[in-house]
Amino acid sequence: MTETLVQWFVTNLGGSAAKELIVFLISMVPILELRGGLLAAGPAFLDIPILRAVPICIVGNVIPVPFILLLIRWIFKLMKKTRLFRPLVEWLEKKAMSKKEQIETYGFWGLVLFVGIPLPGTGAWTGSLIAALLGMKFKKAFPAVLLGIAIATVIMSALSYGLLGAVFG
């Protein structure tokens, strides 16, 4: 699914936006995030040099995190007051909280690993959402998410530029 979404962004924005902007936007999008940005930046798609791609992807992935950690509970509370958005918010909360065990059990390090190991349904967006819904303090959650993003960067760089680079480079 990630590859399909990345391909959609590359195809639909490729003619009208700079490669770096495409990678930045992909890195901000839930589900795709940094892993999708680095995949798009790698030799298989846009072939952006790794030293240029990594900071772009990190910044794109980090930008939504403080807003999620600080504002999502307030935003969800407002959205639940409407008949239109209440089911969506309840679904998002249920989906996020179904993955809370690791974070609840291991706290800071659980959040680091949840964000850092690039598996479907994990990442900075979901990790930040779970941390916010669990009431984790910003000063604890934000560094954990940043450390997780750093770990995901190493893993995805190795995959996108190492493994896929060997195949497509």
Q: Return the C-alpha torsion angle 84, 87, 92, 95, nearest 10.
A: -160
List the one residue out of 24, 31, 30 whose CA is nearest residue 52: 24
- 68 and 148 in a single domain? The answer is yes
- 28 and 39 in a single domain? The answer is yes
Q: Rounded to an integer, what distance in angstroms lies between the CA atom of residue 152 and that of residue 27?
A: 12
Note the pLDDT tens digit of each residue in 112-168.
Answer: 999 999 988 899 999 999 999 999 999 999 999 999 999 999 999 999 898 665 566
Rounded (to 5) percent helix, strand, coil in the chain = 75, 0, 25
- 91 and 143 in a single domain? The answer is yes
Number of domains in the chain: 2
- 76 and 132 in a single domain? The answer is yes
- 69 and 134 in a single domain? The answer is yes
- 116 and 38 in a single domain? The answer is no
Is the pTM higher than 0.95? The answer reads no
DSSP helix/strand/coil, 83: coil
- 81 and 160 in a single domain? The answer is no
Note the pLDDT tens digit of each residue in 37-79.
Answer: 999 999 989 999 999 999 999 999 999 999 999 999 999 999 9
- CA 142, 144, 145, 151 torsion: positive or negative? positive
Which structural domain range is residue 78 located in? 64-152
Q: Rounded to an integer, what distance in angstroms lies between the CA atom of residue 22 and that of residue 66?
A: 22
DSSP helix/strand/coil, 16: coil
What is the amino acid identity at position 163? Answer: L
- 76 and 136 in a single domain? The answer is yes
